Structure formats: structure tokens, C-alpha cells
């Protein structure tokens, strides 16, 4: 199955509408920081024929598939093998210090969930890998087999919001002493056995939160978001817009904090006139986070947890021009 037939981009029309005012001018540059299978990127190129696209992905397989999909757009699309927090270096290398649009679709891509051998999905047995870029870094199996129990508990609680973290980790430590973890089915079974009955009755597959936590740890996702979103805001030209899709509360909170800080007046209280350097540099485009429609969730269940936030750059910031 190829990318374009199996992949339904999340909140696509809303993202396009949000970015549209910034991308109408000839020569506008839009960055898709999370290329994946290229659904959002293809729509950006098709909808804004005067715009150029720079697209990043850390997964070589995604770059290959998306590259085939975007080939008809020729030189309008530049695809780069990079993690999204490397955005400043990528723009610097391409001689594009300022851009008009930025899109993030955070989290795991449809392709990674659908490829059984990647180990992202708890619904099928696979090697416990979970690296978005399989050429570098440690796998989920290594995390499970080598991390100290306290560190594993912290990861499950912080990244998976798993209330039963201690119970699950005790079982993991017991089992890994007998034999190291290699495959997902054994971990799923262990989690089912470790959880009390009441915990199994709520919120879908009981392994879901643990798998999310391991994936975030393996790929350093939250640290990347923490660096990438401020860097993207900084790269926006005045009038430029950014749209960010997040899929769990931890990511969404980070995005919210960056946008809120940018939209705040930072002047000391009591000044009769607020100097330029204290004026907000962002205008929020969403009231809180926007959610997908019921129709969209019915069409694409992976859209269900999505939270969309947007902002527009309304003025330069002193340090950005320094």
C-alpha cells in the first residue's frame, strides 16, 4: 500500500486555512517539520502554487516514500533528513533565515504504526525497536532491559501518564532478569498480567500508555519539541504563521507555553508606554486548542486525540535580529 492511499492527514483543511494568509505571496517558504508520508506537504504544494516547501523527517523510509509522492512538484520541494529541532541548522544551510509558514504534526506517523516490524504498535508482535530513525540511537528493548527501575517508573509516569507505573516496572524488572525483552507481545502480556482488573477496564488497550512512554523516551520527543517550537517561532517572518498538531497533553502543554509567552506583554508593570521590546511578538490564532470534528474522527480514528494550536508573528523581537 502506498502513502497516498493509506494516509489521511489530520485536520488538513483547518491547517491549510490557518496558514493560507501567510502563503499567498510568490516566493513564500513553508516548512513541514514532520513530513511523514507527505500528506500535509502535498496539500501545501497543491493549495499554494506560489510557495516553496522545505520538509524534514528523521525517518529515511518516510523520506523515500514522500519523495516519490512529491516528485511531480520538482524543485518546489526540498526534503531533508533531520529531526525537527535541527530546523535552525537546516534553514541556515539552505540560506533561508526567515520563512512564512511552519507546520508540525507531532507524534508517531501512520507509516511507523502500520509497518509491523518497527515495534510501535502494541496490537501486533514485533521487535521492540520504536526508533523513528533506525540508523541511530537506542531501541525500546534496550531501554526496558538496561534502565534502572526508578528511571523506568519516571518515564512511564511522566511520558505515559501511567498510574500503575510502579507495578508494571516491578514486573519488567522481574522478567528481564530471566530473559531480556526483545518483542512487543511479551511486554503487552506482562502489562495485562500486572494491572489490577479495574485498570484494565478503562481507556482501551492497557499497554497503550507504556508504549507511548517508551516511544517518547527512545526518540527524545519532548526535548525535541521543547527546542523545535521556539526555534520555529524565531524563524517566522513578520506575518508568518505556525500551526502545531499535538497528540498528548505533554506536547500540547509545551506548545501552549511557547505561544503564550510569545503573545504576552513582558513590560514591567506601571509603564505609561510599553516599549517595542516588551510588546507581544505573536498573535494567537486559536482560542485554546482546536479539536477535530466528529466526522473527521469517524473517518480517521488516529485524529481523535489531536489538538491544534496556531500563532502569527506580528513583530520582530529585539534578540531575533541581534
Say which CATH superfamily domain 3-111+221-321 falls into: Vaccinia Virus protein VP39 (3.40.50.150)
CATH number of 117-219: 1.10.150.170
Q: Please, what is the Cα angle at 239 between 237 and 244, to 5 degrees?
A: 85
- CB-count exposure of residue 273 (10 Å: 0-12, 13-18, 19+): exposed
Looking at residue 112, its pLDDT comes to 45
The DSSP code for 180 is: -
State how beta strands 282-284 and 77-81 pair. unpaired
How far apart CA 129 and CA 57 sit, in angstroms, is 18
Q: Are 308 and 243 spatial neighbours (Cβ–Cβ below 8 Å)?
A: yes
40 among annotated binding-site residues: yes
Looking at residue 110, its pLDDT comes to 47
Q: What is the DSSP string of 89-124?
A: HHHHHTT---EEEEEEE-S--HHHHH-GGG---TTS
Looking at residue 105, its pLDDT comes to 93
- Dihedral (CA of 124, 127, 128, 133) sign: negative
Looking at residue 2, its pLDDT comes to 41
How far apart CA 178 and CA 160 sit, in angstroms, is 26
pTM: predicted TM-score of the whole model, two decimal places: 0.83
Give 183's strand partners.
127
Question: What string of pLDDT tens digits covers the 322 residues of the chain?
Answer: 344 445 578 999 999 999 999 999 899 999 999 998 899 999 999 999 999 999 999 888 889 999 999 999 999 999 999 999 999 999 999 999 999 999 999 866 544 444 554 445 666 778 888 887 777 789 999 999 999 999 999 999 999 889 999 999 999 999 999 999 999 999 999 999 998 876 666 666 788 889 989 988 998 888 999 999 999 999 999 999 999 999 888 899 999 999 999 999 888 888 888 888 889 999 999 999 999 999 999 988 888 889 999 999 999 865 554 3
- What is the signed CA dihedral for 290, 85, 53, 58, rounded to 10 degrees? -100
Q: What is the DSSP string of 132-170?
A: SSTTSS--HHHHHHHS-HHHHHHHHHHHH--TTHHHHHH
Looking at residue 248, its pLDDT comes to 86
Helices (H), the chain: 3-6, 12-23, 39-47, 60-70, 87-93, 110-114, 140-146, 149-160, 165-178, 184-194, 197-200, 208-219, 221-235, 249-262, 294-299, 318-321
Q: What is the DSSP string of 260-271?
A: HHHTS--PPTT-
Give, for 58, the enclosing helix (H) or strand (E). none
Radius of gyration of the chain (CA): 21
Domain limits, the chain: 3-111+221-321, 117-219
248 among annotated binding-site residues: no
Other residues' Cβ atoms within 10 Å of the Cβ of residue 177: 8
38 among annotated binding-site residues: yes
Other residues' Cβ atoms within 10 Å of the Cβ of residue 176: 16
The domains spanning 3-111+221-321 and 117-219 adopt the same CATH topology: no
* Phi, psi angle pair for 37, to nearest 5°: -90, 5
Amino acid at each position: 500500500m502506498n502513502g497516498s492511499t493509506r494516509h489521511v492527514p489530520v485536520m488538513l483543511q483547518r491547517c491549510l486555512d490557518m496558514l493560507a494568509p501567510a502563503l499567498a505571496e510568490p516566493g513564500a517558504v513553508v516548512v513541514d517539520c514532520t513530513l511523514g508520508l507527505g500528506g500535509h506537504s502535498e496539500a501545501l504544494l497543491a493549495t499554494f502554487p506560489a510557495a516553496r516547501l522545505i520538509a524534514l523527517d528523521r525517518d529515511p523510509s518516510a523520506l523515500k516514500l514522500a519523495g516519490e509522492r512529491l516528485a511531480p512538484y520538482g524543485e518546489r520541494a526540498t526534503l531533508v533528513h533531520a529531526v525537527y529541532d535541527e530546523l535552525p541548522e537546516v534553514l541556515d544551510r539552505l540560506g533561508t533565515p526567515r520563512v512564512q509558514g511552519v507546520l508540525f504534526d507531532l507524534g508517531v506517523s501512520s507509516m511507523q504504526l502500520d509497518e509491523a516490524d518497527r515495534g510501535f504498535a502494541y496490537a501486533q508482535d514485533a521487535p521492540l525497536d520504536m526508533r523513528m530513525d533506525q540508523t541511530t540511537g537506542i531501541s525500546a528493548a534496550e531501554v526496558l532491559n538496561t534502565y534502572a527501575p526508578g528511571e523506568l517508573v519516571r518515564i512511564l509516569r511522566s511520558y505515559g501518564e501511567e498510574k500503575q507505573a510502579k507495578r508494571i516496572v516491578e514486573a519488567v524488572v522481574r522478567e528481564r532478569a530471566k530473559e531480556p525483552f526483545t518483542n512487543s507481545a511479551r511486554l503487552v502480556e506482562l502489562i495485562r498480567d500486572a494491572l489490577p482488573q479495574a485498570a484494565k477496564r478503562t481507556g482501551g488497550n492497557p499497554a497503550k500508555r507504556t508504549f507511548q512512554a517508551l516511544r517518547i523516551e527512545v526518540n527524545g520527543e519532548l526535548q525535541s519539541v521543547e527546542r523545535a517550537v521556539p526555534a520555529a517561532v524565531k524563524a517566522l517572518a513578520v506575518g508568518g504563521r505556525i500551526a502545531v498538531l499535538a497528540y498528548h497533553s505533554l506536547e500540547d502543554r509545551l506548545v501552549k507555553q511557547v505561544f503564550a509567552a510569545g503573545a504576552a506583554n513582558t513590560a514591567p508593570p506601571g509603564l505609561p508606554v510599553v516599549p517595542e521590546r516588551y510588546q507581544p511578538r505573536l498573535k494567537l490564532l486559536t482560542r485554546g486548542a482546536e479539536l477535530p470534528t466528529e466526522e473527521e474522527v469517524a473517518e480517521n480514528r488516529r485524529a481523535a486525540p489531536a489538538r491544534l494550536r496556531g500563532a502569527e508573528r506580528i513583530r520582530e523581537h529585539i534578540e531575533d535580529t541581534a
